[in-house]
């Protein structure tokens, strides 16, 4: 930690500040210049000193506080140099050499709809069935999901076609219930900083997919993952789904640079959601290819037999035929970056 002092800082304050830094475990080097004086502190990790650092930042004689180390620990690549591979059982993994395809409807609507989609995506290389049972809707007058009925349908469809299940959980009170049916608990973009929910999924053992908040910095995203890990559950998959910018031609701006960046900072696998990331069916194929090319470990794609009758997000859902055509194109890209994309 480096404290940059304001001009004219009295010596007594410098002593006080040095003492405070020493109490925090820093070895303090005062460097007194003509224009600026700084107190440079060298010590261990700083992730557990955030409050103390913020206090110093508030000090009337301090111009700025510069922090040297990263604020997260358990999810950091420094902490665990090898990439984490999440094993979902039956040979399905996320973070290994194979790209993990996760596909399905935005929202579970009927048994028929779900079985049709599950059958098709299983045939076309998906390992994980996605589908919303509890839906976060911007409007209270919009469909909120079928709840437990949808969970049952998901489990049944997955079992029938040899798939794993991913579905969103929004309410800490529902974590236990959803964990009975799902192999991966999805924490959505709106809940990335819902700390009670993060703590709750961190206490369990189900794999967690943590979507990036729509205006979350990379560091904040990794800190949210740290909440889950700090609870004891390190089976975390990160999912980039586009961030909010000034651009309105796409629903979000998909930040593909986050993939190599996060993979250098953290050992966790990263998946891309090109459906939410663009909001436009006609862009999903291109961005799926881009995602694999930049190094993503998987894709989360919305598929619907009749997008214009989908209860939610039809505009960004691929048709079954489009999804089927996508797979061979993705296999070629995967192969060009030495990754696999096996059909079932």
Interface of this chain with a copy of itself, residues 224 to 263, rule: CB under 8 A: 226-227, 230, 243-250, 253-257, 259-261
Closest CB to a copy of itself among 12 and 138?
138
Is residue 90 near a copy of itself by the rule CB under 8 A?
Answer: no
Query: Which member of 19, 32, 149, 162 binds a copy of itself (CB under 8 A)?
Result: 32
Supply the DSSP symbol for 44: S
CB of 30: closest distance to a copy of itself in angstroms?
A: 9
Is residue 149 near a copy of itself by the rule CB under 8 A?
Answer: no
Is residue 33 near a copy of itself by the rule CB under 8 A?
Answer: yes
Positive or negative: CA dihedral 244, 246, 251, 253: negative
CB of 282: closest distance to a copy of itself in angstroms?
A: 7
Closest CB to a copy of itself among 40 and 92?
40
* Binders in 163-192 for a copy of itself, by CB under 8 A: 170-173, 190-191
Query: Which member of 289, 299, 303, 339 binds a copy of itself (CB under 8 A)?
Result: 289
| Cβ-proximal residues to 10 (8 Å cutoff; 6+ apart), any chain | 61
DSSP string, 62-82: EEEEE--S-S--TTBTTT--S
Specify the DSSP element, H or E, that contains 27.
strand 27-32
**Which token pair is 223?**
């800190």
Is residue 108 near a copy of itself by the rule CB under 8 A?
Answer: no
Is residue 340 near a copy of itself by the rule CB under 8 A?
Answer: no
Closest CB to a copy of itself among 127 and 312?
312
Query: Which member of 22, 180, 321, 337 binds a copy of itself (CB under 8 A)?
Result: 337
As beta bridge partners, residue 32 has 37
179 φ/ψ sector (left φ>0, alpha ψ -120 to 50, else beta): alpha
DSSP string, 161-218: HT-EEEEE---GGGHHHHHHH-SEEEEPGGGTT-HHHHHHHHHS-SEEEEEPPTT--H
CB of 328: closest distance to a copy of itself in angstroms?
A: 11
Residue reference for tokens 């992730």: 47
Residue reference for tokens 């902490």: 79
Is residue 309 near a copy of itself by the rule CB under 8 A?
Answer: yes
CB of 311: closest distance to a copy of itself in angstroms?
A: 6
Is residue 193 near a copy of itself by the rule CB under 8 A?
Answer: yes
User: What is the radius of gyration, based on Cα positions, of the chain?
Assistant: 23
Query: Which member of 22, 57, 160, 205 binds a copy of itself (CB under 8 A)?
Result: 57
């Amino acid at each position: 930690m480096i404290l940059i002092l304001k001009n004219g800082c009295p010596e007594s304050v410098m002593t006080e500040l040095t003492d405070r830094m020493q109490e925090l475990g820093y070895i303090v080097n005062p460097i007194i210049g003509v224009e600026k004086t700084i107190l440079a502190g060298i010590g261990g990790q700083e992730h557990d000193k955030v409050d103390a650092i913020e206090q110093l930042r508030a000090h009337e004689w301090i111009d700025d506080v510069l922090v040297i180390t990263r604020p997260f620990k358990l999810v950091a690549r420094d902490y665990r140099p090898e990439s984490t591979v999440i094993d979902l059982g039956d040979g399905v993994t996320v973070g290994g050499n194979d790209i993990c395809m996760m596909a399905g409807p935005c929202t579970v609507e009927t048994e028929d709809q779900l079985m049709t989609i599950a059958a098709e995506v299983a045939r076309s290389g998906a390992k994980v069935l996605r589908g919303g049972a509890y839906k976060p809707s911007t409007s209270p007058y919009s469909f909120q999901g079928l709840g437990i009925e949808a969970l049952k349908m998901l489990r049944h469809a997955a079992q029938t076609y040899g798939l794993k299940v991913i579905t969103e959980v929004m309410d800490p009170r529902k974590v236990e219930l959803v964990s009975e049916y799902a192999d991966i608990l999805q924490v959505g973009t709106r809940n990335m900083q819902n700390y009670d929910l993060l703590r709750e999924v961190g206490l369990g053992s189900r794999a967690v997919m943590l979507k990036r908040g729509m205006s979350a910095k990379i560091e904040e995203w990794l800190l949210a993952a740290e909440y889950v890990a700090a609870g004891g559950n390190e089976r975390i998959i990160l999912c980039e789904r586009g961030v909010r910018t000034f651009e309105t031609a796409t629903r979000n701006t998909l930040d593909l640079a986050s993939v190599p960046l996060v993979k250098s900072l953290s050992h966790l696998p990263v998946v891309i959601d090109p459906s939410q990331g663009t909001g436009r069916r006609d862009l999903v194929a291109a961005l799926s290819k881009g995602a694999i090319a930049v190094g993503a470990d998987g894709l989360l794609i919305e598929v619907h037999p009749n997008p214009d009758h989908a209860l939610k997000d039809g505009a960004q859902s691929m048709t079954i035929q489009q999804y089927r055509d996508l797979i061979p194109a993705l296999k070629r890209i995967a192969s060009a970056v030495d990754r696999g994309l096996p059909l079932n």
